Amino acid sequence: MTGPLTTRRATGMLRTFEDAGVLEPADVHVAYRLGALGGETREPVLLAVALGVRALRLGSVCLELDRLPALASGAEGEALPWPDPDALWAALRRSPLVTGGPAGPLTPLTLADTPSGRLLFLTRYHRQEDTIRAVLAARERSRPDVDLDALAAGLDALFPGGDGPDRQRIAAALAATEWTTIVAGGPGTGKTHTAARILALLHTLHGPGLRVALAAPTGKAAMRLQESITGQAAELGLPDGLAATTLHRLLGPRRDNRSRFTHHAHNRLPHDVVVVDETSMVSLTMMARLVEAVRADARLILLGDPDQLASVDAGAVLADLIARPVTRPANPALARLVNPAAAAPGGDAPLDERERERLGSAVIRLSRGHRFTGALALLADAVRRGAADEAVAILRSGAHSVTFHEPDDLDAVRAEVTSTGLALIDAAERGDIPAALEALDTHRLLCAHREGPYGVRRWSQRVLDWTVAARGRSLDPEHRYAGQPLLVTETDYDTGLSNGDSGVVVQRQDGLTAAFDRGGSLLLLPPSRLAAVQPLYAMTVHRSQGSQYDSVSVVLPEEESSILTRQLLYTAITRARRRVRIVGREETVRAAIGRQALRASGLARW
């Protein structure tokens, strides 16, 4: 945009909505700028633009014009002068921002009239949704040619459970017979276990020359995927050297444009199979870039947990793709390969009607936990389903793996923080890198916010103070010391570190070095080469997504915090492999479970 970046003060309707706290000055500013550029001055239209910008800021891809009053809660929200949806729709349809105008062909806004409501988009996001819709629909028009006898034999060998409705086997059958498959499921339900078997199956069907890409939205998640797949490679006869990478690296970053890549619709990825893990964290923009870069005759396998927090940017693509209406019947070949309706003693429950319908979109949800059992798994499931009474009962059950602490009852958190902090320092001072890296992931303290009494900043200081008191020696977070945990805050292609990687400073004979675990291989760097890192004593739940720790302590914010949602609590709990400790009040847990982060989009409406 051109012109000075002065903020015009809101007037009229926009002022009313800003004073009520619905709009922020930045929302109003963008609306006025777009209005000025496109020649639109009508207040209700500018209000809708500002509300659309606000929606994006809060994670929605579009504005639901028929549900405007739902944007604000309480009596104050109801009292606001919301525009009449029909009049607003008519005004928007004539707006130069939608149709192009005398000021130029620029159409920054797009309208969509869907069976479940009228939507206003910023055109850029509408285009991205359109890309995803069009590419996936085109991919659904055909299915890969496979030898069904060989496939059946492969499935029997890899999933020897017999005829029961083994959802992992169904996932593999889908992945072999569809171009795009979505394998959803909570932590430890075997998504990567299944992905490894899918790769083995595809290698059997298509021969050893198959080109496979493994990717995830963050470096940490990519490393976990790589570790898991390579750990199973020998057993499954997968080729050596399968490496995972971030989606950014897979698509080829460009220095001149952050949202464009070297691989795109006219320069496709060479791979025959693209497996993406932690898809819930993939933004709408990234998903659009990915699907257009995958060859039409390559398989795309999306793994993820739709109940977790969605991407930092707008959209909840995985959840939307799973929720979209099913437009075609399940692949007829499936009936020969799996038996979704059967009941088998001790096996998965038969697929319900909705699950069977979703096979048409090649979506399967794994439901049986293989990693955690007991109270931790029950708690995660109760939170996911929104069963607050159940969750509270589990928290109060006295189970070892799940404990609940009032905000001033910090003895247990302190004990674990200090014991892991001291173990980290001891190992690092001895120069024992494997032990230091192991100690790093033993326990993690998670907060919802960065700032405030329940935020990362405050709690990091507390962790440091506790560690110093236990150590009996001061530690300066501004200076590297052996045993200091580190978090990478920006991707650095020179060192190979990704945003979100964690490491630890270790004492070596020649001085201090920073050690990072890169999916089983070690990366050692002199601390002076680390550009964007910060000490890691506590982290936000958002940051922790894609990682897991043996034990997790979750500090809940105030009940009123708008960031506190069911998805946030579920994501925090499921970061723990063995035990979770929740610090907060019962009302806060209930408030979190009762508040769902709902992100408006057009994708789920298909």
Ligand X SMILES: Nc1ncnc2c1ncn2[C@@H]1O[C@H](COP(=O)(O)OP(=O)(O)OP(=O)(O)O)[C@@H](O)[C@H]1O
Binding stretches for ligand X (CB under 6 A): 168, 185, 187-193, 228, 370-371
Half-sphere exposure of 307 (CA within 13 A, CB side): 22
Q: Which residue lies nearer to ligand X by CB, 366 or 533?
A: 366
CB of 302 to ligand X, least distance (A): 13
Do 47 and 16 form a contact (C-beta atoms < 8 A)? Answer: no
207 is in an annotated binding site: no
Tell me the C-alpha distance between 171 and 166, whole Å.
9
Half-sphere exposure of 484 (CA within 13 A, CB side): 21
Which amino acid belongs to residue 576?
A: A
CB of 375 to ligand X, least distance (A): 17
Tell me the C-alpha distance between 423 and 266, whole Å.
52
CB of 134 to ligand X, least distance (A): 30
220 is in an annotated binding site: no
Which residues contact residue 408 at a Cβ distance below 8 angstroms, ignoring those fewer than 6 apart?
Answer: none
CB of 250 to ligand X, least distance (A): 19
Order of strands, sheet of 117-122, starting from the edge strand that comes earlier in the sequence:
62-64, 117-122, 109-114
12: left (phi over 0), alpha (psi -120 to 50) or beta: left
Tell me the C-alpha distance between 291 and 133, whole Å.
10
Do 183 and 172 form a contact (C-beta atoms < 8 A)? Answer: no
Q: Which residue lies nearer to ligand X by CB, 193 or 458?
A: 193
CB of 168 to ligand X, least distance (A): 5
CB of 370 to ligand X, least distance (A): 3
Question: Any idea what DSSP says for residue 144?
Answer: -
Which burial class, exposed, middle or buried, applies to 392 when counting CB atoms under 10 A from its CB (0-12, 13-18, 19+)?
Answer: middle
Tell me the C-alpha distance between 185 and 303, whole Å.
8
| Calculated CA dihedral for residues 393, 396, 399, 401, nearest 10 degrees | 90
105 is in an annotated binding site: no
CB of 142 to ligand X, least distance (A): 29
Q: Which residue lies nearer to ligand X by CB, 40 or 305?
A: 305
217 is in an annotated binding site: no
What are the CA-CA distances from residue 326 to residues 311, 577, 588 (Å)? 24, 35, 37
Q: Which residue lies nearer to ligand X by CB, 42 or 193?
A: 193
Q: Which residue lies nearer to ligand X by CB, 187 or 340?
A: 187
347 is in an annotated binding site: no
Q: Which residue lies nearer to ligand X by CB, 122 or 338?
A: 338
Q: Which residue lies nearer to ligand X by CB, 67 or 370?
A: 370
Q: Which residue lies nearer to ligand X by CB, 189 or 561?
A: 189
Which residues contact residue 375 at a Cβ distance below 8 angstroms, ignoring those fewer than 6 apart?
Answer: 394, 397, 399, 400, 401, 402
Q: Is 309 helix (H, G, I), strand (E, B) or coil?
A: coil
Q: Which residue lies nearer to ligand X by CB, 507 or 548?
A: 548
CB of 394 to ligand X, least distance (A): 20
Which two three-digit tokens encode residue 481?
């010391």
483 is in an annotated binding site: no
219 is in an annotated binding site: no
Q: Which residue lies nearer to ligand X by CB, 60 or 228?
A: 228
Q: Is 292 helix (H, G, I), strand (E, B) or coil?
A: helix
The 3-class secondary structure across 2-43, one letter per residue, is CCCCCCCCCCHHHHHHHHCCCCCHHHHHHHHHHHHHHCCCCH
CB of 187 to ligand X, least distance (A): 3
CB of 189 to ligand X, least distance (A): 4
Which two three-digit tokens encode residue 541?
């739940």
CB of 391 to ligand X, least distance (A): 20
Tell me the C-alpha distance between 320 and 605, whole Å.
8
Which residues contact residue 240 at a Cβ distance below 8 angstroms, ignoring those fewer than 6 apart?
Answer: 233
Question: What stretch of H or E contains 306?
Answer: none
Tell me the C-alpha distance between 321 and 327, whole Å.
12
Q: What is the DSSP string of 411-449?
A: HHHHHHHHHHHHHHHHHHHHT-HHHHHHHHTTEEEEESB
Q: Which residue lies nearer to ligand X by CB, 187 or 315?
A: 187
CB of 551 to ligand X, least distance (A): 15
Rg (CA), the chain: 25
Q: Which residue lies nearer to ligand X by CB, 34 or 198?
A: 198
Q: Which residue ranges make up the annotated binding site for ATP?
A: 185-192
